[in-house]
Chains A and B, each alone.
Chain A
Amino acid sequence: MKNQISRGLLCAALVSVVAGCTGWQSAMDAHGAPAIQLYQLTMLITIVCTIVWILVVATMVRAIWRRRERRDDPLLRDPMMERRMGLAVLAAVVATAIIISGFTAASFFTTRAIRLATSDVLSIRVRGLQWWWEVTYVDAAPGKTFVTANEIHIPVGRNVRLELESADVIHSFWVPSLAGKQDLIPGRHNDLTIRAERPGVYRGQCAEFCGLQHAHMSVFIVAEDSADFEKWIVGQSGQAFSSTESEAAAGKQLFLSKPCASCHAVRGTSAVGATGPDLTHVASRRTIAAGLFETTRGTLAAWIADPQTLKPGNNMPMVPLSGDDLRAISAYMASLR
């Protein structure tokens, strides 16, 4: 009975792996060239392993329920039987060796196949920090380089090389729908080349334990066609939008006079802090606090009011603000499109 249960469980699980798992942060929901090949290799090995497992368990069940004649002396052995079992074990070991050699070869060729060409790539610098991602688009033209956070826009169908660095502890960059993961290690430079085959927003998250808020360190890759991508680049590389609306303008003054500006930068103003995320176009990003909330004026205000309750242990201190000040600063943040 036990074997039926666990076999049933495995089958059910396999079916759900094959058919059901389509989360938007899932190795089973592949939309990038490497991820698709990884998915196929995973499926291949899973299926072969499942067959082997069924054979092993079936042999065991048969061994348990087999009819056999009485034998009183435990040391009395049937030489024919011993020989046949020896051959069976040998055959099974040879089969094991052949199967794992096949797996090794398949892994090797998959590794080669998923290596994307690195000519004509778009390079983006990604730096991991406790607990967010700093993203830098380097442009040779002066003044065109810009920094953003937690959201990486890429053009569909083009190879993109992410240059991965860490500012503090080890992190790991992982967007399973597009590619496998790669660690960001202090003192080392790693890179990861990805390509999205279809437009979409692909979620990822830090995969190497990095401290208190490891669980809240998400990243989004936004793949869009090249026209939209170029438009986004132009928007992001520009200076911060300066709202003339009075509350936002008051918020700007507060932002620059309070401790905010010592950690955050807003291009085109005197705020040039580099400890926290660049806020030049914060309202254009989908989420705040590395995927914790959707960006709205309300969530911005909530975050500014009490970051330590929402994401305990993160490096943003609570800055005491009156209700009016908080409203003004959140209005300013929401205006930074």
Chain B
Amino acid sequence: MTERSSTDADLEDGVLISRLEQTWRTPKGFWGALSTVDHKTIGRRYIITAFVFLALGGILAALMRLQLAQPEARIIGPDRYNQIFTMHGTNMMFLFAVPVMEAMGVYLVPLMLGTRNIAFPRLNAFSYWMFLAGGTLLWTAFALDMGPDVGWFAYVPLSGPQYGAGKRADIWAQMITFTEVSALAVSVEIIVTVFKQRAPGMSLDRIPLFVWSLLVTSFLVVVAMPSIMIASTCLILDRLIGTHFFNPAEGGDVLLWQHLFWFFGHPEVYIIFLPAVGMVSTIVATFARRPVFGYLALVMAMIATGILAFGLWVHHMFVTGLPRLGESFFTASSMAIAVPAGIQIFCWLATLWDGRLSFKTPLLFVIGFIVTFVVGGMTGVMVASVPIDTQVHDTYFVVAHFHYVLVGGAVFPLLGAIYYWFPKMTGRMMSERLGRWAFWLIFIGFNLTFFPMHILGLQGMPRRVYTYQPEMHWHGLNLFVSVSSLVLMGGFLLFFIDVIRSARNGLPSGPNPWAAPTLEWATSSPPPTYNFALLPVVRDSNPLWEESESLTVGGGLSVDRREFIVSSVVEARPEARETSPRDSIWPFWTAIASSVMLIWSIFSPWAVVWGSIPIALALIGWFWPKGSPEEES
């Protein structure tokens, strides 16, 4: 160590690693934990937080099934029940499904691309704190009996100033702002990371499919989220300072809300589903031990899904009295999305057909996914048809449909993905035995719980009813559904037990327990803070299969500064060395200041004025030059 070399090329392994450790480490202790910008730490926090929200949302579902198990039950009153179903939907969509998918991206995308951190790492830290604050706001309000009670799509005028009592709808709308900010931030980071930080040689046609799925998803977020942001802001303005965006008596329009909401709300479904497509493609390839069939077709199908997603929001509004011709157009576009979905399913089936299958838990979840998701796709075709929709809209048929799509289509792949990537994140394997039990309980429990709801809907049971009358003939199926939901919950409980047990006592996994082909498996498990000691160079879309003996690596990066390679968008030719910022506490303070302003603004418009001052101060702190080697470069 007499002469401090500044690049990695001329250092021995041991020295290289200790120097990188020194440069990339996060300070220990409380403040260190609050200021970290490591995408793996933040991604792990995101994932764990989202799963806590999943568990809380599941408890709400259990309460609803308890109330609905018998007619005219008086276990939960209408006021609390309305809060519960609103919380369940809002929580699952905004605090679980979207964040958990983005969180998987935050953790995995930089690793799969062979880079050292996500782009804009401080923004990433900020986005997590905003997400946490939004979720805390919503659940605190619920605990104080101030939870929103207007449904997760909060239709005006029920959520408007005249009918939405107290601050409940404001809390819903402001929680939306929190999650929008964090989702938009993560999307921007992922887009930039994918475009500019890929390993040299990873041209567009070599990007792992999971990364492709996150890229398309991120563009969807960037285009869709502003719509709900405008809508929820207009709602708050209507409620707080008496604007009349949605008040027909003053020239506003009730349906405007629905258009704005669903222009976001339908793409939202694909924001949740597309990452699952990426997960399934990844798992199928690894456990069939062959590259996924139809890489190009799958990429094109994802992009097509992303584009079509913006052309079918009106199918949520078929019974509002829009002109029939326009509705027929939206029937056609909604049906058309079955084509890319079909391409995906058929490509996976082909991969399974030709593969050498290894039936580990992740693959079981994928098989369960295909069986259930196809049912959800079929009922999706049914609700896309205007005439059928006039019967099933807003009934339990739709409840069944979107649970098949969201749980069967996204949560099953997600659970498979957790079993798949858990060893990478923790260095330990999850239990195959518990995994199989969890899979079968969840798969059987899910179908027994949700399939009968199709029938209930056709039999005339509307959704969002806190009870039903004994003469309606619905009690038998409802009781059956409630009992079946116990099986489903048992499965999830087992999954959580497995996660907690394995995190402590799971068998050590080694760097690549599944013999998988993508770059995240080229480093140790869990990966070091700097991800890769030497950044990999890629010559194939399955680098670890192509060159299982030794992975080509490139050198020449500084070890005293946090450096990574910037590469060109299409061919990933190395273009420059760039520095990644150091840890900072300021994203945390900025998130605190923003949260204070947003929550305060529920109660007074002046919050926007006075609350901006701390935000400005925190941002000054964030961007103030601190003379670190990264800034000097």
Contacts and interface: CB of A to CB of B under 8 A. Distances in A.
B350 A96 contact: no
A215 B82 CA distance: 11
Contacts of A60: 349, 352, 367, 370-371
A23 B459 contact: yes
Contact of B371 (A6, A28, A68, A107): A6
Contacts of B141: none
Contacts of A148: none
A211 B158 contact: yes
B368 interface: yes
B354 interface: yes
Given A5-B444, A207-B395, A209-B464, A74 B517 contact: yes
A23 B368 CA distance: 33
Contact of A215 (B78, B320, B339): B78
B135 to A, nearest CB: 24
Interface string A211-224: 11111100000000
A20 B195 CA distance: 56
Contacts of A292: 469
Nearest to B443: A2
A208 B387 contact: no
Interface stretch (A137-145, A172-180, A251-259, A277-285): A172-180
Interface in A115-174: 168-170, 172, 174
A249 interface: no
Interface string A59-99: 11011101010110111011001100110110011001100
A321 interface: no
Nearest to A92: B346
A214 B464 contact: yes
B452 interface: yes
Nearest to B151: A209
Nearest to A69: B356
Contact of B335 (A5, A25, A103, A214): A103
Given A41-B387, A49-B378, A111 B324 contact: yes
Contacts of B150: 209
A188 B254 contact: yes
B331 A181 contact: no
Given A56-B374, A74-B517, A45 B291 contact: no
Contact of B472 (A23, A74, A78, A207): A23
A299 B468 CA distance: 18
B360 to A, nearest CB: 14
Given A28-B458, A60-B352, A89-B347, A107 B321 contact: no
Interface residues on A, range: 35 or more
The SS class assigned to the B binding surface is helix
B321 A42 contact: no
Interface string A1-23: 01101100110010011000101
A323 interface: no
Contact of A63 (B254, B353, B379, B386): B353
Given A63-B353, A93-B346, A23 B473 contact: yes
Interface in B39-83: 77-79, 82
Contact of B381 (A13, A16, A63, A103): A103
Contacts of A242: none
Contacts of B511: none
A74 B290 contact: yes
B336 A100 contact: yes
Interface string B540-555: 1010011000000000
Contacts of B440: 2
Contacts of A180: 319, 387, 389-391
B289 to A, nearest CB: 5
B392 interface: yes
A128 B447 CA distance: 36
Given A74-B545, A170-B155, A38 B448 contact: no
B16 to A, nearest CB: 31
Contact of A75 (B163, B291, B469): B291
B163 A6 contact: no
Contacts of A108: 328, 331
B388 A212 contact: no
A291 B471 CA distance: 11
Contacts of A13: 451-452, 454-455
Given A53-B374, A100-B381, A291-B469, A169 B163 contact: yes
A93 B254 contact: no
Interface string B440-468: 10011001100110110011101111111
Contacts of B443: 2
B338 interface: yes
Contact of A64 (B324, B367, B388, B467): B367
B345 A56 contact: yes
Contact of B447 (A9, A27, A85, A190): A9
Interface string B144-179: 000000110001011000110000000000000000
A210 interface: yes
Interface of B: 77-79, 82, 150-151, 155, 157-158, 162-163, 248-249, 253-255, 289-291, 293-294, 297, 319-321, 324, 327-328, 331-332, 335-336, 338-339, 342-343, 345-347, 349-350, 352-354, 356-357, 367-368, 370-372, 374-375, 378-379, 381-382, 385-395, 440, 443-444, 447-448, 451-452, 454-455, 458-460, 462-469, 472-474, 517, 540, 542, 545-546
Given A74-B517, A180-B389, A207-B393, 6 more contacts: A64-B352, A71-B356, A100-B335, A104-B332, A208-B155, A214-B462
13 contacts: A13-B454, A25-B472, A45-B382, A57-B370, A60-B367, A63-B353, A104-B332, A107-B328, A170-B254, A174-B462, A208-B155, A209-B150, A313-B79
- 4 closest pairs, A vs B, by CB? A180-B390, A187-B248, A215-B465, A25-B460
